[in-house]
Chains A and B, each alone.
Chain A
Amino acid sequence: MLTDLTLSEAQAALRAGTITAVALTQAHLERIRALEPDLHAYLTVTEDLALQAAEEADRRRANGDDSPLLGIPLAIKDVLMTRGVPTTAGSRILEGFLPPYTATAVQRLLDAGAVMLGKTNTDEFAMGSSTENSGYGPTRNPWDVACVPGGSSGGSAAAVAARLALGALGTDTGGSVRQPASFCGVCALKPSYGRVSRYGVIAFASSLDQVGVFGRSAADLAALLGVIAGHDPRDGTSMTLPVPDYAAALTGDIRGLRVGVPREYFVEGVQPAVEKTVRAAIDQLAALGAEVRPISLPHTEYALPIYYLIAPSEASANLARFDGVRYGLRDAQGALWPTYKATRGKGFGPEVKRRIMLGTYALSAGYYDAYYLKAQKVRTLIRQDFDRAFAEVDLIAAPTTPATAFRIGEKADDPLAMYLSDTLTLSASLAGIVGASVPCGFDENGLPIGLQIIGPAFDEPTVLRAADAYQRVTSWHSRRPPL
């Protein structure tokens, strides 16, 4: 089946002329029609636009064009703006919003010839770990539809797992591409902060937000990252560093690579099957010639409280723009302030309100030093942990999540329990460094487990090289869910 190809295999087949972009796109659209009633990975399917883009891709190829993603069908998380295509960030407050411009990361995919299949489900404003906070209903995990796909980029992860797209974009603020990739048995990479433009990404926490990529192999991630990475004059925090050839980094050779295993990532609360499976994956890296050694990241336990002060603080400021004036819902009350309050009270869901409240409090007079400033200082300690670790090792290997996918509704009434599912991905976000998740096995219920590979800032090539080397000798990433 055409939908079983990896992105890299599809690129080769399109180049060889054995398949067409139209056939590949139609195969995905048919599978979306068949499976969406069960999964709800997409909020919008842009069928007509996709077919037009596929026809255009076939025409361009016939004329000798060989753009890197020409004719490749992809899914885009609905927090990335797409001109003229509904973009909601999973929020009712943006129902019907038609962006007047396209996010740089998406535009770069389209310029490289990609075919957008649609916009994927997300926790509202990317705040959540399960997609249950979406204003449009949860996405279901393709491995067990009673379970969540993770979040916040759960729609993108589920779409790639279920073969409803060859790859996808997500965003990661505290683990929002790595955690759902782990839950859905696919690969994802959160680049270094500053590697990919945030222009056109609906802002959640601006010092943490970064666009990430999903695929079914490390090679797929390399292909997508190579297109979207790089400086953008429209995002002052996108770095001017040159973009390396990520595909060329996939040599299969990790002999002598120093891999640290942080003891703080294997503490109480990590499910036994997760620990066993991830340790076996690390043994595999050692068998490939990596030098594995224990390390310590002593401030790991503080990542969660830091994150849940800093991210909501930044969110409370960013979400002030949703006031019913320029776009989105307005619940008119006859006077401006009551209109603001009614609009925001009606348009935002519970988790978004909770975080706005928390952030407003942490930034308010009398509490700023004790909460926000304190969190920023401890954030420095987290960064210093990694600086010390990367003086001794090239990469860090650990579980992506403490446990496999949980059941829909299981943690819905306990925000703190929900936040704990992010506990192993938050540190890399706070430090702005690279984090990837690749499938490395299954638990006793057949749910996927992810190996997290963390690397220093802007060392995406080494992270991808290790992930690819692992995938050359294992087949976990090729398993498909029973749909």
Chain B
Amino acid sequence: MTFDRAMVAHIAELAKLQLSDEESERFAAQLSDILAYAERLQALDTEAIPPTASVLPLRNVLRPDVVEPSLPRGEALANAPDSADGQFRVDAILDSEGGAA
């Protein structure tokens, strides 16, 4: 697998990461190397092997459905770059026509 500039641009868009031209070029080469190294996994027959998502023998961990105190709103907002009326304020999500801004 070679990671070309178009693939870098596609993945950066999925990950919402703005990359400079220099970064894109460097990442294309470095990610190609790393993925080439990872290719060795393909040599193993894992058809009958179950995947490990967690090493613990846990499934669902439940607690009683009881309301407990949570972070006060003021504290939750204290680190926000912008807030108003007790809410996080963000840039427009939709433009005036209703499309994505």
Contact = CB atoms under 8 A, between A and B. Distances in A.
Contact of A97 (B51, B61, B79): B79
B17 A345 contact: yes
B79 A98 contact: yes
A360 interface: yes
Contacts of B11: 357, 360-361, 364
B17 A308 contact: no
Contacts, number: 174
Contacts of B27: 353-354, 357
A326 B89 CA distance: 9
A305 B37 contact: yes
Query: SS class of chain B's interface: helix, strand, loop or mixed?
Result: loop
Contact of B41 (A101, A306, A341, A416): A306
A376 B53 contact: yes
B101 A337 contact: yes
Given A337-B16, A340-B16, A344-B17, A354 B31 contact: yes
A358 B34 contact: yes
A207 B91 contact: no
B46 A341 contact: no
B101 A360 contact: no
Interface in B27-47: 27, 30-31, 33-35, 37-42, 44, 46
A345 B12 CA distance: 10
Given A233-B63, A309-B38, A326-B88, A239 B17 contact: no
Interface residues of B, number: 55
Contact of B56 (A361, A373, A432): A432
A377 B51 CA distance: 4
A14 to B, nearest CB: 35
Interface in A343-402: 344-346, 348, 350, 353-354, 356-358, 360-361, 364, 370-371, 373-381, 383
B6 interface: no
Contacts of B84: none
- A-B interface, 7 closest residue pairs, ranked by CB to CB distance from nearest: A345-B18, A432-B55, A376-B51, A236-B61, A330-B81, A327-B79, A335-B101
Interface of B: 3, 7-8, 11-12, 14-20, 23, 26-27, 30-31, 33-35, 37-42, 44, 46, 49-56, 58, 61, 63, 71, 75-76, 78-82, 88, 90-93, 95, 100-101
